[in-house]
Amino acid sequence: MDLFIAIFTGTIIAATPLIFAALGELVVEKSGVLNLGIEGMMLVGAAVAVWMHFAGFSMPVAILTATLAGSVASLIFAVLALTFATNQYAAGLALAILGSGISAYIGRGFGGAPIDGLSSISIPVISEIPIIGPLFFQYDPLVYLSYLMFACICWFLYRTKAGLVVRTVGESPESSHAIGFSVIRIRYMTTMFGGAMAGLGGAYLSIAYTPLWVENMTAGKGWIALALVVFATWRPTRIILGAWLFGAMTIFQLHGQALGFALPTEVLSAIPYLATIVVLVIISRNREILKLHFPASLAKPFKPSG
């Protein structure tokens, strides 16, 4: 039972940064914008959170600043891709590389310095329940926030008028423009929201998960988040499932190694990536459903005319 609890909680924690980043990117892509810069924004968030922590600010302030920093980083992309309507792939890649450089600069001097990480909150009474308590009620606050964000984003996208507008902009920016919505302004807002979520995911890595700053510490999690959105066929529930799957495989491969599975360690290390992609490809093979959820104008530059 202890082993099961260890695997379960490990999975939830490993999935959290992915959930933040991928949910943010989902909203961005739903509005028809493809921002490939998640990795860069996550790194900026991670570095800023650590910087603020060592500057003496409290955890909530550090997390909030990191979130804002992710958002500011996404503006670099937004100005290029939205205002100047450049190629979104190129602008996103530029942000990914730039973010890695900027974060390394911000994090100078904090490399490897340990932090008293974000402590988990133990809800009185229910966290004491055997099995249920350790399984569900002994995480840090950001884990709960990620599921709150999931609920909010589902509600926003599919149950509010504003969410409908975002999706419309993603389907047909021309029509949205024609009926009077400011496509560029809406896309700016979603892009900045995506940046904020990526920054939050990065902050989770550096001050709750690890907790310390290391150059390029995201280790490809931004790209996995990006892949999750695509393979989850732009549906929030599948993003959560995909993130759990990735988290579970990450933990399983470590257990596999320690139990002496007769597979090379390099292969075991690659399993999380393989398994996530294979499973998501299988569940997204229905082309009709894929078309239904795919934002038709994704990555197409839009220039308002007339």
Q: What does the binding site for another protein look like in residue numbers (CB under 8 A)?
A: 2-3, 6-7, 10, 14, 108-109, 111-114, 205, 209-210, 212, 214, 217, 219, 250-251, 254-255, 257-267, 269
Residue (267 or 278) nearer to another protein, CB: 267
Q: State the minimum distance, in angstroms, from the CB of residue 2 to another protein.
A: 6
Phi, psi (rounded to 5 degrees) for 140: -80, 160
Residue (179 or 258) nearer to another protein, CB: 258
Q: State the minimum distance, in angstroms, from the CB of residue 209 to another protein.
A: 6
Please give the structure tokens belonging to residue 305.
């005319």
Q: Is 46 helix (H, G, I), strand (E, B) or coil?
A: helix
Q: State the minimum distance, in angstroms, from the CB of residue 157 to another protein.
A: 30
Residue (112 or 124) nearer to another protein, CB: 112
Residue (3 or 125) nearer to another protein, CB: 3
Residue (9 or 67) nearer to another protein, CB: 9
Please say whether the beta carbons of 65 and 52 come within 8 A.
yes
Please say whether the beta carbons of 40 and 277 come within 8 A.
no
Q: State the minimum distance, in angstroms, from the CB of residue 14 to another protein.
A: 7
Separation of first and last alpha carbons in the chain = 65
Residue (116 or 288) nearer to another protein, CB: 116
Q: State the minimum distance, in angstroms, from the CB of residue 39 to another protein.
A: 15
Give which of 177, 189, 206, 188 is closest to 49, Cα–Cα.
Answer: 206
Q: What angle do CA 178, 179, 184 make, to 5 degrees?
A: 65
Three-state helix/strand/coil letters over 256-271 = HHHCCCCCCHHHHHHH
Quote the CA–CA distance of 262 and 234 in Å, as a whole number.
37
> Alpha carbon of 62 to those of 103, 105, 112, 153, 219: distances in Å?
15, 18, 18, 23, 22
Q: State the minimum distance, in angstroms, from the CB of residue 245 to another protein.
A: 16
Please say whether the beta carbons of 186 and 163 come within 8 A.
no
Q: What angle do CA 193, 199, 203 make, to 5 degrees?
A: 145
Residue (172 or 210) nearer to another protein, CB: 210
Q: State the minimum distance, in angstroms, from the CB of residue 203 to another protein.
A: 14
Please say whether the beta carbons of 153 and 20 come within 8 A.
no
